[in-house]
């Protein structure tokens, strides 16, 4: 029997914030300049049924309504593929958004997910379904846009999660060669932090030598990031304890 005392929501959606780190500039003998990017869709003017789309023409996170025969994770994966053509990436849930008035269609609750993947996973992105376009944007830029629904808030929260993941795990290795210089690792970390212990070149060059989850590649150097031969490092299999880059190691 349905309990009429309590009202149920008008809809339940899943949204997905997919991040990557891209190289903005790369010159010989110079460390790369990198930035944190997010993939967004531009909402189509009309739905597949031909009616006017809500928040049409605005940039938004990929997402859509959860169907009765699936959970939010399954819906997030399905909607990501339907709207962007991207599949096979690992997503994680990070928040629920239910503030009154967040969606003009009514009382809509969103279960938000995120992923951070190398850029090559997103090269085959192609807009379809409710999306007119799908593009990568620098996170700092996109937060200045007028986004659909409350997606600015969701993105801001997702960025905070991403920063912790990159700084408190070895996720940075997904954006580096197997053997890398200290300045290449520093470039990845600089996309999510302004910590002087990481951004200061001399300080970080010393710190990397003491990080127990990174080891020197013996007998090999490179000139990728400097005209002077520079040592190469690699991640080992050590299980790390958070936080990993700002902790003090003897």
Asked if pLDDT for residue 239 goes beyond 90, the answer is no
Query: Residues 107, 100: contact at Cβ < 8 Å?
Result: yes
Q: Are 111 and 93 in contact (CB under 8 A)?
A: yes
Residue 1 pLDDT exceeds 60: no
pLDDT tens figures, 151-184: 999 999 999 999 999 999 999 999 999 999 999 9
pLDDT over 80 (residue 125): yes
Phi, psi of 89 (to 5 degrees): -105, 150
Mean pLDDT of the chain: 92
Contact 19, 114 (CB under 8 A): yes
Residue 46 pLDDT level (bands cut at 50, 70, 90): confident
Confidence tier at 5 by pLDDT (50, 70, 90): confident
pTM of the model: 0.91
Q: What is the pLDDT of residues 179-238, one digit of tens each?
A: 999 999 999 999 999 999 899 999 998 989 999 999 999 999 999 999 999 999 999 988
């Amino acid at each position: 029997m349905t309990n009429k005392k309590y009202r149920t929501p008008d809809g339940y959606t899943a949204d997905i914030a997919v991040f990557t780190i891209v190289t903005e500039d790369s010159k010989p003998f110079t460390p790369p300049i990198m930035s944190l990017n997010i993939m967004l869709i531009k909402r189509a003017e009309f739905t597949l049924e031909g009616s006017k789309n809500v928040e049409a023409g605005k940039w938004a996170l990929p997402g859509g309504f959860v169907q009765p025969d699936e959970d939010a994770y399954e819906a997030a994966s399905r909607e990501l593929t339907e709207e962007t053509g991207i599949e096979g990436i690992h997503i994680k849930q990070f928040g629920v958004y239910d503030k009154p008035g967040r969606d003009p269609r009514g009382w809509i609750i969103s279960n938000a997910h995120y992923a951070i993947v190398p850029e090559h996973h997103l090269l085959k992105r192609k807009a379809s379904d409710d999306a007119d376009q799908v593009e990568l944007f620098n996170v700092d830029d996109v937060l200045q846009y007028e986004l659909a629904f409350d997606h600015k808030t969701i993105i801001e929260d997702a960025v905070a999660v991403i920063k912790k993941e990159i700084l408190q795990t070895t996720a940075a290795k997904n954006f580096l060669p197997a053997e890398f210089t200290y300045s290449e690792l520093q470039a990845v970390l600089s996309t999510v932090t302004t910590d002087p212990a990481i951004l200061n070149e001399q300080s970080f060059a010393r710190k990397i030598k003491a990080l127990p989850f990174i080891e020197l590649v013996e007998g090999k150097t490179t000139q990728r990031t400097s005209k002077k031969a520079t040592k190469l490092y690699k991640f080992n299999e050590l299980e790390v304890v958070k936080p990993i880059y700002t902790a003090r190691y003897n």
